Amino acid sequence: MRPETLAIHAGYMIDPTSGSLTPPIHLSTTFERALDNTYPSGYVYNRDNNPNRAELEARLTALEGGVTCATFASGSVAMMTLIQALKSGDHVIAPFDMYYGIRVILQEFFVDWGLSVSFVDMTDLQAVADACLPTTRLIVIETPSNPQINLTDIAQLAEIAHHHGALLVCDNTIASPIFQQPLALGADIVVHATTKYLAGHSDVLGGALIARAQLPIFDKVRRLQKIGGAVPSPFDCWLTLRGMSSLPYRMGAHHANGLAVATYLASHPKIERVLHPFLPTHPQHDLALQQMRGYSGLFSVLVKGDAEDALGITRRVHLFKRATSFGGAHSLIEHRASIEAPGSPTPKNLLRLSVGLEHPDDLLEDLEQALAD
């Protein structure tokens, strides 16, 4: 089946007891045993699993072309669980420009537990190969990266990882499974903050790990998920599933709107550079066309001037909202350096835009007045 159909039907079933077309939200924390002491429904306790989570995991598995999926209460805890499945002394390679929250988790917490981490420029394949150690277990990539919008060559990185006996883990949050399929390009595990495009309405946090095969590390991930319980609630799963049914159509609109806004800003005299992989001026535009079928609404601009010039623009917009996050219907604008932890490599004149689902001409008019003298 095609993505538009999978986004609605994978893992879906009409409720057998009521015939309800829309799945009920199963709030029960516990499920009844039969007289023979078995669990005929397969469900035991809500932390282990429940029907809403099972449907969400089946749908994400199908959309990413994997074999199994574990969902979590946020994108951050999904990645944290994967790292918890490693051992002290293991080595992880991660992008120097990765989403800052996950960089903080690695640097501030796991290093104290004996994990060794190298932060590398993932556009430099030789630098990644040189960073590999006999203890390297995971190479983590985020393509495009947030917020510098650097791309990583997934197929080449998979070769490097496998050559060194490591797994390639790809954060696919920004491109979404509609436009990029890392598992088909050789990645072993895909990470998502379902909070963003998958759920798509800025109203529910969530995360997921999807694997291309039954990997031993995934058995540990599943144990941690069930025993630890950092899981999405049944209502979180239900909201995420509801959002996902329109994902392919929303992504098409995010692509078109984002590109219209990026193209406008690229020729504006107050903008130094636009970082958008589907603009021919992006240094990795060819790679974008090679490994992505389209793009989302998230990109960044470098404003001419300093942090104050960038912040000035955020004060003058009306339709764009000054808020963090991305992937929802409302367009957002954010001065990233204001939210990231100290030591972040994000330039001080960088604004990140999450172009939503409004009419692009209204967004252009809003930016035009915000950029006027």
Ligand X SMILES: Cc1ncc(COP(=O)(O)O)c(C=O)c1O
Catalytic residues: 47, 99, 171, 196
Stretch that binds ligand X, among 35-43, 167-175, 237-245, 344-352 (CB under 6 A): 167-175
Enumerate residues 323-362 that contact ligand X by CB under 6 A: none
Indicate the SS3 state at residue 251: helix
**CB of residue 321 to ligand X, shortest distance in Å:** 16
Distance CA 154, CA 273 (A): 25
81 binds ligand X (CB under 6 A): no
Q: Does a cis peptide bond (omega within 30 degrees of 0) precede residue 147?
A: yes
230 token code pair: 């950092």
Distance CA 161, CA 140 (A): 10
Stretch that binds ligand X, among 69-77, 103-111, 241-249, 313-321 (CB under 6 A): 69-77
Q: Select the residue interacting with ligand X from 65, 101, 305, 312 (CB under 6 A).
A: 101
**CB of residue 173 to ligand X, shortest distance in Å:** 4
99 binds ligand X (CB under 6 A): yes
Which x/- pattern over 188-217 shows residues binding ligand X (rule: CB under 6 A)? -----x-x---------x-x----------
Q: Select the residue interacting with ligand X from 75, 182, 248, 294 (CB under 6 A).
A: 75
Integer CA distances (angstroms), 95 to 123, 124, 148, 276, 342, in order: 9, 11, 11, 18, 17
Q: In this structure, which amino acid lies at residue 27?
A: L
Enumerate residues 120-149 that contact ligand X by CB under 6 A: 142, 146
219 token code pair: 């058995």
Is residue 332 packed enough to be buried (19+ CB in 10 Å), middle (13-18) or exposed (0-12)? buried
Integer CA distances (angstroms), 345 to 115, 121, 319, in order: 22, 11, 29
Question: Residue 197 or residue 218: which is nearer to ligand X going by CB?
Answer: 197
Question: Residue 281 or residue 324: which is nearer to ligand X going by CB?
Answer: 324
Question: Residue 69 or residue 371: which is nearer to ligand X going by CB?
Answer: 69
Residues 252, 258, 259, CA angle at the centre, nearest 5°?
95
What Rg do the C-alpha atoms of the chain give, in angstroms? 21
150 binds ligand X (CB under 6 A): no
312 binds ligand X (CB under 6 A): no
Chain residues in the site for ligand X (CB under 6 A):
74-76, 99, 101, 142, 146, 171, 173-174, 193, 195, 205, 207
